[in-house]
Structure 1
Amino acid sequence: MGCDHSKKDVVEEDEEHCYGDEFSEHEIDSIKSTWPILSRDRQKTGVDFFRHIFNAEPAVKAMFKKDRTISDEELLSSPEFLKHVDNFMSALDNVIEKLESDTTETQHYLIVLGAKHATFQGFNEEFFTLYSKCMIDTWESVIGEEFIQEVKEGWEMFLMFITRYMRQGFVMYFQDPKTEDETIV
């Protein structure tokens, strides 16, 4: 990735991370080698992820239910919800595809995505932490025995990157007095 580790001020434990880059080569390899497993059945993986979130925080599920009388399973199989799942998985695809390139464009994309989440009535900033935890738990169950510590750490770095910029966009949204709330799906 073009890192220069010859600088004397680089701390030994941080040598794997380049100060100008977001990810180490090992983290990129871990993410890119396990993403095909996760995206093999994109819809199922995405639905499992959201099911995990809904179980951990019912308030998130309530944000998706326009009709409060539909069952959870009806929600999880509704065309609107499945479109959101597809958008979620496509967003991950987009970020993963650009891991080894200049992250400026990806950072901007995530900031805009974070601002969009601020428009969802009921969404709060703490949900980013919940999403990260639920994603790690879901990824572990889907990847199985290949979800070794190195893989987990790679995905944790990836999620810290995503949530850092999405939170930034979320906060920026509220600094603009012209914004209004929307519904998620």
Structure 2
Amino acid sequence: MADALTNVYKDAMRDTWYVVQQDHKTNGVAFFIRLFTENPGFVEYFPKFRGKQLEEFKNSPNLKNHAFVVLKNITQLVEKLDDEAGLVAIMTEIVDDHYPKQIGYAHFEKTFGVLLEVMGAALGDLWTETAREAWTTAFSVLLTVTKARLEVLRANGADSEKK
């Protein structure tokens, strides 16, 4: 796992994430707007938005708060790029938090895809081939961790809310 994220990739991730998080409010909300536009069914996983149209909540404090949490989680992941065990621990916690809501592998996969799109839009010319490859590789690593953790949760019979 650690071999996939070269020092060049880690530096590209740190540099680009620094730029993205400088405007975390705008970029976080842009992420959720794109996520819900491309995956309208995802709205149903958010009790405060369930049954509503995107226009009804796209400027809500609840959306902005959750966007902040998501970007904070990504910041924590970026800070742990040199600590494989720490990186795995953070991603495991994220999976554990989402599993009871029946958020599975496909949801994480789509979410990471949207993050790539939003980052590309936010970074413009700074979204180089190296940066894109770095983030794509990192998300692939995180999806491997996600898949393994979901298998453990299922094997242990962990409950989810929406059976």
TM interval, shorter chain, is: 0.7 to 0.9
Q: Deviations over 1:30-51 (max 9, x none)?
A: 1111112110111211111111
Query: Structure 1 residue 142 and structure 2 residue 156: aligned?
Result: no
| CA distance, structure 2, for counterparts of residue 98 and residue 71 of structure 1 | 36
Is the counterpart of residue 109 in structure 1 residue 90 in structure 2?
A: yes
Structure 2 counterpart of 1:116, one-letter code: D
The aligned residue for residue 27 of structure 1 is: 9
Question: Aligned match of 1:156 in 119, 123, 136?
Answer: 136
CA distance in 2, matches of 1:68, 1:147: 34
Paired residue secondary structure (1:99) = coil
More helix by share: 2
Identical columns (%) = 18
Task: Sort the Cα spacing of 1:32 and 1:59 in 2 relative to 1 into closer, same or farther, 3 A.
Answer: same
1:118-172 C-alpha deviation (Å, 9 max, x unpaired): 1114x33211221121111111100001111111001111211222222322332
Aligned to 1:40: 22
Runs of 5+ unmatched residues, structure 1: 1-18
Q: Distance in 2 between matches of 1:141 and 1:107?
A: 28
Deviation at 1:103, TM superposition (A): 1.1
Q: Where does 1:168-183 land on structure 2 (aligned, <5 Å)?
A: 168-181=148-161
Taking a change above 3 Å as real, the CA distance of residues 180 and 127 of structure 1, as seen in their structure-2 partners, is closer
Kindly state the Cα deviation for residue 80 of structure 1 after the two structures are TM-superposed: 2.6
TM-score of the superposed pair, with normalisation by structure 2: 0.87
- Report the number of matched residues: 162
Q: Which has the larger radius of gyration?
A: 1
The CA deviation at 1:96 is 0.5
Shift of 1:82: 2.1
TM-score (norm 1): 0.77
